[in-house]
Chain A
Amino acid sequence: MKRIFVFFLLVNLAFAANAQKYMTKSGYIGFFSHTSMEDIKGDNNQVAGVLDVSTGDMVLQALVKSFHFEKALMEEHFNENYMESEKFPKASFKGKITNLSSLNLSKNGTYDVTVEGDLTIRDVTKKVSAKGTVEVATGSITANSKFPIVPEDFKIEIPGVVREKIAKNLEVTVTMKYLPL
């Protein structure tokens, strides 16, 4: 039910009248875990997102299965043991740029923004707040952010034997290059 809701939200956001909407279906979300034992990196280049620059609303949606790892076994463990992607195939974020007034869309440049909203992973929704930048260019808007997340916040169970190999805080990187709708 929730998935259908998020889908309609995306579609609604995309089609609501009189608004300046930007969209992408090939945005990037990656995460990075660094410990002295191992560095782990997962990349997803198939993130769908809509940004409404008149209100600052944004929705992002991604398939867990679209995260790609250098090692096939890591990808399998990520999907089967930690994220349970068959049970929880999608992750989403619905939020807002809170300092929209500092953004000048008529002038190309890079602006600092703060985004707040609900991040849903494994059907667990958590309020998050992150700082980032918005690059206004002719014909596109690129949103960038880096923020930490804690796997245990989303009921991801990491067995004791491998706990030392996975960082307590994972660094999440988001790069969304939106085009006007």
Chain B
Amino acid sequence: MKTYVKVVLFFVFFIVVSAILAALYFYNLKHTDMSKAHPDFVITATALLKEFEDNETSASAKYVNKILEVDGIIGSINTAKDNILTISLRTESDLSSVICTFPAVADPSKFRAGDSITLRGECSGFLMDVLLNNCAAVNLKVK
């Protein structure tokens, strides 16, 4: 085999292997670990809800897909199957809150209504409440 054919074959092989490795890397990419992530915004639950209620379009443009660190007081707690935990944070409104869903939590019972919490999560947008996903508790203060 001529030398240049070998060189070309080597490069083709190299490119194919790198492409496969890159594909595997992206395919298996994990979600951002919120307990270590740097927040784009730090805000209270009440202020966050107010921004969405005042102008959903501009608040969505500002917050959706961003990492938020939110301070609030736990209102209600709901555990779904696979220990997926959803808590609501109280606001000044009786109807709306900030609803935060955690991926499988080892000990959901440590969260109690009335406790103050600081959590980080990714903002999904607004229905009747502001919704956060992929949440992690940063600080939990028992009342």
Does A26 sit at the interface, judged by CB under 8 A? Answer: yes
How would you classify the secondary structure of chain A's contact residues: helix, strand, loop or mixed? strand
Stretch of B35-43, B112-120, B121-129 lying at the A interface: B121-129
User: Which residue of chain A has its CB nearest to the CB of B128?
Assistant: A48
> How big is chain A's contact interface, by range?
20 to 34
In the bound complex, do residue A45 and residue B124 qualify as a contact, i.e. CB atoms below 8 Å apart? no
Does A122 sit at the interface, judged by CB under 8 A? Answer: no
Does A22 sit at the interface, judged by CB under 8 A? Answer: no
Give the complex CA separation of A62 and B131 in angstroms.
Answer: 10
Does B46 sit at the interface, judged by CB under 8 A? Answer: no
> For window 66-106 of chain A, which residues contact chain B by CB distance below 8 Å?
66, 68, 71-73, 75, 86, 89-90
Partner of B99, one of A7, A26, A28, A71: A26
Partner of A90, one of B30, B64, B78, B127: B127
A-B contacts, 24 listed (Cβ < 8 Å): A25-B127, A25-B129, A26-B99, A28-B80, A45-B80, A45-B101, A46-B131, A46-B133, A48-B128, A62-B127, A63-B125, A65-B64, A65-B131, A65-B133, A68-B103, A68-B133, A68-B134, A72-B30, A72-B32, A73-B29, A75-B31, A86-B64, A89-B60, A89-B125
Give the complex CA separation of A46 and B133 in angstroms.
Answer: 9
